[in-house]
Amino acid sequence: MSSSEKPEIQRGPDPLHRAVEGQNVLLPCETFGAPMPKVYWSKRDQVITGGRYTILADGSLMIREASAADSGVYVCNATNKFGSDIRSGTLNVKRKTRIQTHPGNQEVRRGYYAIFRCTAVADTSLTYDIDWYKDGRLLAYTGRFIKDIADQNTLKIVDVQFDDGGSYVCRASTELDFDEASATLVVQDRPNRPRITKVNCSGSTQNAFGQPFAIVQWEATGDNNARILYYEIQYNTSFQQNDWISVPVERRQETYTEIKSQDGSVKLEPSAIIYRTTRLPSNQYDLRVTLSCWANYTFRVIAYNRIGASDPSAISESMCSTTTCRPRSNPVGVKAYTTQFIPLLIEWDSMPPIKWNAPKFWYEVGWRPFAPGLNPEPFMTQRVYPPQNRFAIPNPIPNMRYQYYVKAVNQQPGDINGADANEPPIFYIAFSGDSGNYETVSFTSPLSASWRYITSSQKSTTIRTMLLQRKHHPNRRCNRRKTSCPAETLSSLSN
Is the CB of residue 459 less than 8 Å from the CB of residue 341?
Answer: no
pLDDT digits (tens, 9 = 90+) for 244-287: 999 999 988 888 788 888 887 888 888 888 899 999 999 999 99
Residue at 351 is within a domain = yes
pLDDT at 495 exceeding the cut of 70: no
Q: Which of 158-167, 372-381, 400-409 shows the lowest mean pLDDT across its residues?
A: 372-381
Q: Which of 5-19, 107-121, 458-472 shows the lowest mean pLDDT across its residues?
A: 458-472
Residue that terminates a domain, selected from 170, 188, 206:
188
Give 30's strand partners: 11
- Give dist(CA 155, CA 164) in Å, integer: 13
pLDDT digits (tens, 9 = 90+) for 132-155: 999 889 998 888 999 876 777 899
Residues 82 and 103 in one domain: no
Residue that terminates a domain, selected from 409, 431, 453:
431
CA distances for 114 relative to 65, 145, 146, 164, angstroms:
38, 10, 11, 10
pLDDT digits (tens, 9 = 90+) for 51-81: 999 999 999 999 999 999 999 999 999 999 9
Q: Which domain holds residue 72?
A: 5-94
pLDDT at 12 exceeding the cut of 90: yes
Residues 305 and 202 in one domain: yes
Write out the DSSP string of 240-251: -TT--EEPPEEE
Count of domains forming the chain: 5
> Greatest CA separation found in the chain?
158
- Give dist(CA 211, CA 357) in Å, integer: 10
Is the CB of residue 401 less than 8 Å from the CB of residue 369?
Answer: yes
CA distances for 69 relative to 13, 19, 21, 22, 364, angstroms:
18, 12, 10, 12, 104
CA distances for 184 relative to 103, 140, 358, 368, 451, angstroms:
9, 18, 60, 78, 72
- Collapsing DSSP to helix, strand or coil, 8 comes out as strand
Total-model pTM: 0.66
Residues 164 and 247 in one domain: no
pLDDT digits (tens, 9 = 90+) for 169-197: 999 999 999 999 999 999 999 999 999 99
CATH number of domain containing 209 = 2.60.40.10
Residues 242 and 170 in one domain: no
Residue 135 has, within 13 A of its CA and on its CB side, a CA count of: 5
| % of the chain with per-residue pLDDT over 90 | 67
Residue at 226 is within a domain = yes
Residues 213 and 309 in one domain: yes
Residue at 256 is within a domain = yes
pLDDT at 448 exceeding the cut of 80: no
Residue at 327 is within a domain = no
Residue at 326 is within a domain = no
Residue that terminates a domain, selected from 383, 412, 431:
431
Residues 21 and 89 in one domain: yes
Interacting residues of 429 by C-beta distance below 8 A, sequence separation 6+ = 370, 401, 402, 403, 404
Residues 64 and 130 in one domain: no
Instruction: Name the average pLDDT for the chain.
Output: 85
Residue at 352 is within a domain = yes
Residue at 400 is within a domain = yes
How much is the pLDDT for 266? 83
Residue at 398 is within a domain = yes
Residues 110 and 181 in one domain: yes
pLDDT at 453 exceeding the cut of 50: no
